[in-house]
Structure 1
Amino acid sequence: MRDTSPDWNNLKLAHENARKQTRVELNWENYEQYWTGRIHDDEDLKARRAELIPLYNFEYDPVKASARVEAGIYRHEAHNWCFQQNAPIYDVKPQLPSVTCPTLVTVGRHDWVTQVSSSETIASLIPKSKLVRRSPQFEEAELFQQTMRDFLAEALPDLEVKR
């Protein structure tokens, strides 16, 4: 599980984090549109993502961030459904203790949306889980990949995993 929350409570703190940050001036109307699922079309979703992406990296590189925005897949209908329909009722905490497979839970140390505490909750509720705090996706990509390989090699010793 990567950078996820067991329920929707993390958004309150995410909003506080967005208001406190000084990296970029946010258009708060656009911000609200994004987080409440009121995106007009795929281009609107891409534009809102481009506005928020500076918040997602500890060390912001505008060229790399722009490339990630361009490489993204945008489906505003799915985005809107998620925030309008799923978000208000999202809570998987009751189901997590029934997960029986080894589970790697990773979270970025500086994630502004999904705080470390969200992943700590998940890891505490899944019996065979391991929590790793990193900046997994981009800033420590090689370390993240190695962490995944090590976890798979330990969890599935009979599987050939390239290290």
Structure 2
Amino acid sequence: MNSPTATDSRPTVLAPRTLTRLTPADCTATQWDSSTQKANAANGLLSFIESGLHPEQFTQQLYRTCSQHLFGHIAHFDRHGFADTWFATTDSKAAFIEHALNAGSYGDPTHTWSDVEQHIQTALEAHPHLLNPATWPGVEHPHPCPSCSCTP
């Protein structure tokens, strides 16, 4: 029997597979990426969001997907800089969700990942509580003010 680890008790934002997944049929291949690659990368990001956007779970593949293809993100020097910017606090995680929801998805999906961006935005729009970290399960606040912006 495996004993629980610290990662087992971390709060999640949504139950697994709550956000609608993409299939290759939902994506348009580009010259550089197949529809399967686009779907797999998007589904990895959706899983990462559901699991709580924990920086230690932000893989090199997720970093590459975000910094090269999605929502106008930039590299932030490297994966750790990106994670420090977007996933270090509950508020920065909510800012990542807000950025994804508000970013434009430009271009033809035969040349960009605009199809993936639109799908992710649609999936996130179905869960508006993601913009309010106070509603996330397991998030503890230092004091009980209802409009607390001092989340850990």
- What TM-score do the two structures reach when normalised by structure 2? 0.30
More strand by share: 1
- What TM-score do the two structures reach when normalised by structure 1? 0.28
Which structure has the higher relative contact order (CA within 8 Å, separation 6+)? 1
